[in-house]
Amino acid sequence: MNCRTAEGMLTKYLKHELSVKELDEFMGHIESCEECREELKTCFTVDRAVRLLDLEEDSTGDPDFEKLFEQDLKRSRRYLANRTFLRFLMIFCGIVALLALVIALIIYVL
Ligand SMILES: [Zn+2]
């Protein structure tokens, strides 16, 4: 993925509208490209600040956007890791089910 594509995905990332494949590619770029990471951090901060304004003045103190940003990246990474694990688990279960079927067939034939 190049910077231009990544920039085009910033808004969708913030709205959590990226598909798993898009998110995977986007995160890969963000982790390797300092410029896009900074750009994302800026957009993230603006996005959160606007949302806080919408919530009126009931928040206590200044929110730590840097920390929130890191948490958001971590959450996205965890989401991707869970998806990968889930896919692995489904393939594994599929293989086990197939093996069970083959064994049952062998026992039946013998
Ligand atoms: Zn970039």
* Site of tokens 């003045």: 57
| Domain tally, the chain | 1
Residue 85 CA to ligand 1 center (angstroms) comes to 27
Residue 76 CA to ligand 1 center (angstroms) comes to 18
Residue 42 CA to ligand 1 center (angstroms) comes to 14
pLDDT digits (tens, 9 = 90+) for 12-31: 999 999 999 999 999 999 99
Share of the chain above pLDDT 90, in %: 82
Residue 60 CA to ligand 1 center (angstroms) comes to 35
Q: Please list the pLDDT of the chain residue by residue as tens digits (110 residues).
A: 999 999 999 999 999 999 999 999 999 999 999 999 999 999 999 998 888 877 766 656 677 899 999 999 999 999 999 999 999 999 999 999 999 999 999 999 98
Distance CA 110, CA 99 (A): 16
Please write down the HEC assignment for all residues of the chain: CCHHHHHHHHHHHHCCCCCHHHHHHHHHHHHHCHHHHHHHHHHHHHHHHHHHHHCCCCCCCCCCHHHHHHHHHHHHHHHHHHHHHHHHHHHHHHHHHHHHHHHHHHHHHC
Amino acid 57: pLDDT: 62
Residue 3 CA to ligand 1 center (angstroms) comes to 4
Cβ(76)–Cβ(15) under 8 Å?
no
Which domain covers residue 28, as residue numbers? 3-109
Sign of CA dihedral 83, 3, 48, 31: positive
Cβ(26)–Cβ(80) under 8 Å?
no
Residue 23 CA to ligand 1 center (angstroms) comes to 14
